[in-house]
Chains A and B, each alone.
Chain A
Amino acid sequence: MGLLTNRAKVLEQKPLTFMESLYLPAILKGMAITFSHMFKKKPTISYPEEQRPFSPVFRGLHVLNRDEYGRENCTACGLCAVACPAEAITMEAAERKESEKHLYREEKYAAKYEINMLRCIFCGLCEEACPKDAIYMSETFAPSNFTRKGFIYSKDELLIPNPVDEKEKYEIAKGKREVQLKNK
């Protein structure tokens, strides 16, 4: 019978020699290996204290962006919802009133904007689809929650802090992402 492939190897099964049947040399060799591992560098990252650095292209939780005057960029055009392959985004549009000019950048805005983080696959297509630079993905991931409802993020959770009132929080939410991208 010929060999099935040219990579097949015929193994000879010989009975153990005396030295092999003593097992001790082999055991000592094994023990030397395990002992050497005691002094190896541990790859463990102690999570809450240490965090693995994110890649500059990491796609985390979504953020709804504001412009430099603190006005929401989103115009509720729905392109992100159309682009979303997981159908995680829902929104309701509303017309801006005269008195709300300082809140929304354009005449139409999203009265309701929800992302279901359990459906979201963090592909980033919404970010790409957005013509208004209103949605982008930050460097954090969704924290755990006890209910499914808790994973449906509304505008309260998604909206970035106001750059005029809460500058520091805004910078933190914005993250190092843009800096890193610029440096590249």
Chain B
Amino acid sequence: MDLLAIDLSLALEKLLLIGGIITFSLIVAMYTTYGERKVAAFMQDRIGPNRAGPFGLLQPLADGLKLFFKEEIIPTASSKLLFVLGPALAMITAMLTSAVIPWGSSINVFGRDVSLQIADVNIGILYIFGVVSLGVYGIMIGGWSSNNKFSLIAAVRGASQIISYELAMGLSLIALLMMTGSLSLRTIVEQQMTGGWGGFLGWNILYQPLGFLIFLICVFAECNRTPFDLPEAENELNFGYHQEYSSMKLGLYLFSEYVNMFISSAVMATLFFGGYDIPFVDEATLSLTIGANAVALLGFGALFAKIVFFLFLFMWVRWTIPRFRYDQLMDLGWKKLIPLALANMLITAIVILWFNK
């Protein structure tokens, strides 16, 4: 009976955490669409959406409402089950990754230490890679089941692009993993927090700048963001893999892209920018004065600030550079990034061997 009671409270705690994180990432994704439009507008000397609510802040709600009320069309020639499965899969895989990201250290609620991470699995990074690879099924199934040649081409492109860039992504992370010696994201963050200057000198970006650059480029490709947005290239494929979709099914596809952006920003911040580490502040001494809970919340704030920066970077790049041609994309992935990642891995290995042994 005792065992059951403990399990129940743990289950409740995790359930609340899952609900909270999913709601949070959906809201953030919602406002990323707004941010995207505002940033795009500002970079093009326009003022962007400003009609719905003050500064257009209700615009995402209006957009969502519009998508919900649109007519839902399922093409007769499509494979119905897969057609519905596509956007659901895209959204689910986008959300799944958030499970292993440490959103903060632990907070104390009613005498219980609640870790701000859904699951601290010791193969966190492998899990992320696994789920991200599943993400391609959303695009592939959606494009294929629409029974439309443009959608199919886009889906094939998307699949091959994601598979190609996953290689370089994995290779760039191997160098990082050799340094940390752990696949658990919380361990990686805690290692970074022990560096000098309140943790800042421990950030992996200082030791793996090239690895980070490769990882960043691959993340752009994985999220299908410009310059790698070939699966939805408007001018050659009309609208890409979601061309036949309408109403909220289209909304889920578009939305999953923003959730993906949010989650991959969180992964980048966690792996390379110290996660919930507040730079130039020693968390241990700070928690003595203002309490551990406040420090955990501040840490979450720090992580969120880093995520917002990366989200801005995504938009910034999107509104600056044009799309790659398909052969250039493959060229970059296979002939430049993979050798570069291999070299980075080799150099890291040599340096580790040289100085540690």
Which residues of A approach B to under 8 Å, CB–CB?
27, 30-31, 33-35, 37-38, 40, 42-44, 46
Contact = CB atoms under 8 A, between A and B. Distances in A.
Interface in B318-333: 319-321
B108 interface: no
Contact of B50 (A31, A40, A46): A46
Contacts of B50: 46
Nearest to A32: B320
B321 A27 contact: yes
Nearest to B318: A34
A43 B317 contact: no
29 contacts: A27-B317, A27-B320, A27-B321, A30-B320, A30-B321, A31-B316, A31-B317, A31-B320, A34-B43, A34-B316, A34-B319, A34-B320, A35-B43, A37-B42, A37-B43, A37-B44, A37-B45, A38-B39, A38-B42, A38-B43, A40-B45, A42-B45, A42-B46, A42-B47, A43-B45, A44-B46, A44-B47, A46-B47, A46-B50
A27 B46 CA distance: 22
Interface string B129-166: 00000000000000000000000000000000000000
A34 B320 CA distance: 6
A40 B42 CA distance: 8
A31 B320 CA distance: 6
Interface string B18-47: 000000000000000000000100111111
A30 B42 CA distance: 15
Nearest to A29: B320
Interface of B: 39, 42-47, 50, 316-317, 319-321
Q: Is the interface of B mostly helix, strand, loop or mixed?
A: loop
Contacts of B42: 37-38, 42
Nearest to A31: B320
Contacts of A43: 45
Q: Tell which of A34, A35, A40 has the most Cβ of chain B within 10 Å.
A: A34
Given A37-B42, A42-B45, 8 more contacts: A27-B321, A31-B320, A34-B316, A35-B316, A37-B43, A37-B44, A44-B47, A46-B50
Nearest to A28: B320
A27 B39 CA distance: 18
A26 to B, nearest CB: 9
A30 B45 CA distance: 15
Q: Tell which of B46, B50, B321 has the most Cβ of chain A within 10 Å.
A: B321
B333 to A, nearest CB: 14
Q: Which A-B residue pairs are the 9 nearest by beta carbons? A: A38-B42, A34-B320, A34-B43, A30-B320, A31-B320, A44-B47, A42-B47, A37-B43, A40-B45
Contacts of A44: 46-47
A136 B319 CA distance: 48
A150 to B, nearest CB: 27
A40 to B, nearest CB: 6
A46 to B, nearest CB: 7
B310 to A, nearest CB: 14
A37 B45 CA distance: 6
Contacts of A46: 47, 50
Contacts of B317: 27, 31
Q: Tell which of A31, A43, A46 has the most Cβ of chain B within 10 Å.
A: A31
A40 B44 CA distance: 9
Contacts of A42: 42, 45-47
B285 to A, nearest CB: 36
A84 B262 CA distance: 63
Q: Tell which of B42, B46, B319, B320 has the most Cβ of chain A within 10 Å.
A: B320
Q: Tell which of A38, A43, A44 has the most Cβ of chain B within 10 Å.
A: A38
Contacts of B44: 37
Contacts of A40: 45
A43 B41 CA distance: 12
A43 to B, nearest CB: 6
Contacts of A33: 320
Nearest to A37: B43
A19 to B, nearest CB: 14
A31 B316 CA distance: 7
Nearest to B43: A34
Contacts of A37: 42-45
B55 to A, nearest CB: 12
Nearest to B40: A34
A33 B319 CA distance: 11
Contacts of B46: 42, 44
Contacts of B43: 34-35, 37-38
